[in-house]
Amino acid sequence: MIIRISDDALARALGADALAQAFAQKGHEVQRTSSWGMQWLEPLVEIDGHGFGPATLDDVDAILDGSSDKAIGVIVDHPFIARQQRLTFVRAGRTRPLSLEDYEATGGWIGLRRARQIGAEQIVEEVTASGLRGRGGAGFPAGIKWKTVANTPGAQKYIVCNADEGDSGTFADRMVMEGDPFALIEGMAIAGEAVGATKGYIYVRSEYPDAIGKLNQAIALCASIIAPFDCEVRVGAGAYVCGEETSLLNSLEGKRGEVRAKPPLPAIQGLFGRPTVVNNVLTLAAVPHILAEGGSAQYGSLGIERSKGTMPIQLAGNIKHGGLFEVAFGITLRELIYDIGGGTESGRPVKAVQVGGPLGAYIHPDQFDIKFDYEAYTAADALIGHGGITVFDDTVDMGAMARFAMEFCAAESCGKCTPCRIGAVRGVEVIDRIRAGGRPADSVELQPVMHNAPKTGRLPEQEIGLLTDLCETMKFGSLCALGGFTPYPVMSALKNWPEDFMPGQEGAVQKVLDGNDA
């Protein structure tokens, strides 16, 4: 009997290795595969297409004799899987990550072979026609970036994969690198064909040792297939700001991870001053499918408006069914949280959802009908970012979450620009004064970091005005998204949950906000 168990880092952390060993000791062949992405069911055991999970060592005998109460039926028919439109994660759960045989049997290298047949100009046209936008945050059209690099003269050009997945509640990049590394490498090789680059770097954070190991093995296995394109893994030190493309390039060059002023854009003067494509893991991993099918044949036909294709959405936080859900753009938060995610794990009401990592806005339940679409989120003063969704129940203190956003920015700032470096520190102090002034003195416990600002004599309402002005300055004056996006969680928390800043004085808060908007 063949037993299939994921070797994804999450599954391994929950005991998948010991489980695999237990089945092997009973004489069964165990295959270690990628993860299906149903993380609440890990470790998930698959036998003849049927799943059992979350499995423990105590479940082994019952799974083998068919009496297990952990049975979930045929995996592909499970509602969480059946409702998806998997393109980037089409192999998830189905293939062994480092098996070239599995990869080729499931359409691997078709996109690269076709790319080499049609040539650079046609590759760029098809990626542009697909509507593929950067999946790392800003949503910039990939085809336009590639065309810029292709048209810029340079003796050497580079493809850089931003795998510095640092946003809270995100894990899709890790799942690709651990579960389908050849797809990422193929996407980079296709990008190299498109722009004339023969060298690529994958910049991975050091906290992903399993991904680093898988990528290095995969590159060695497929080196002859992707030649003359050459790929190399570089390990970062975990600085959040190195998720910003110019900080990442500085780090790759051996310099301090610090934001560069733009222009020049990396597409013109990037790594070592050469024209460089910088794309996220999910962006590059989508490319092989696009080239295999033709840009607008399938990928470009999915989604809505200017948000085309599919998005691997990551459901995390206080949610019953956490995991990876790939679907075309246009789905609502309400569907994702309740129909797919099953509501909160705690069983309590949802109070807030943060989309787009620690710099994303907190979205109120009244806004849950917003469609997953770049422009719709921008209009709502929110971000899609990397597609991470973190759910909070009604026990969360949104004033504390706003404070955390400022504190996070202060801790992670590269220090290059004043609005981010100083503004975040002042932001923590202002929020502390608002919360201390808006409650009875004995009912608020200030955090031990950065709250010792001098007494100013300002009223809490005046401090709120100061906070909104500070956020405006950070939003439009910071060099990169770290300082520029920190106001999103702060202001969304203040607008939607003023009672968590000044209990009983919500009207005063709203009056100040309305005055600032006017």
Q: What is the pLDDT of residues 459-491, one digit of tens each?
A: 777 889 999 999 999 999 999 999 999 999 999
d(CA 372, CA 383): 10
Runs of H (alpha helix) within 133-280? 142-151, 172-179, 181-195, 209-226, 245-252
311-393 belongs to which CATH class? alpha beta
HSE, CB side, 13 Å, CA atoms: give it for residue 167.
36
- Least confident piece of the model among 265-274, 313-322, 348-357, 494-503: 494-503
Rounded to a whole number of angstroms, the distance between the first and last alpha carbons of the chain is 69
295 pLDDT band (50/70/90 cuts)? low
User: Residue 7: pLDDT above 70?
Assistant: yes
d(CA 162, CA 36): 23
DSSP secondary structure, 226-263, as one string: HTT-EEEEEEE---GGGGSHHHHHHHHTTS---PPPSS
Domains 100-301 and 398-517 share a fold: no
Q: What is the pLDDT of residue 214?
A: 98
User: Residue 308: pLDDT above 90?
Assistant: yes
2-78 belongs to which CATH class? alpha beta
Residue spans of the domains in the chain: they are 2-78, 100-301, 311-393, 398-517
- Residues 386 and 357 sit within 8 Å (Cβ to Cβ): yes
Rounded mean pLDDT of the chain? 92
Listed residue (235, 225, 264, 270) closest to 111, CA to CA:
225
Task: Using CA atoms of 473, 476, 477, 483 in order, give the dihedral in degrees to the nearest 10.
Answer: 90
d(CA 299, CA 87): 8
| Residue 263: how many other CB atoms lie within 10 Å | 8
Q: What is the pLDDT of residue 441?
A: 38
- Residues 199 and 156 sit within 8 Å (Cβ to Cβ): yes
- The correct answer on CATH 1.20.1440.230 for the domain covering 398-517 is yes
Phi then psi dihedrals of residue 328, to 5 deg = -65, 150
- Residues 272 and 301 sit within 8 Å (Cβ to Cβ): no
User: Residue 505: pLDDT above 80?
Assistant: no
d(CA 8, CA 22): 18
User: Residue 514: pLDDT above 90?
Assistant: no
Single-letter amino acid, residue 466: L
Single-letter amino acid, residue 475: K
100-301 CATH fold:
Rossmann fold (3.40.50)
145 pLDDT band (50/70/90 cuts)? very high
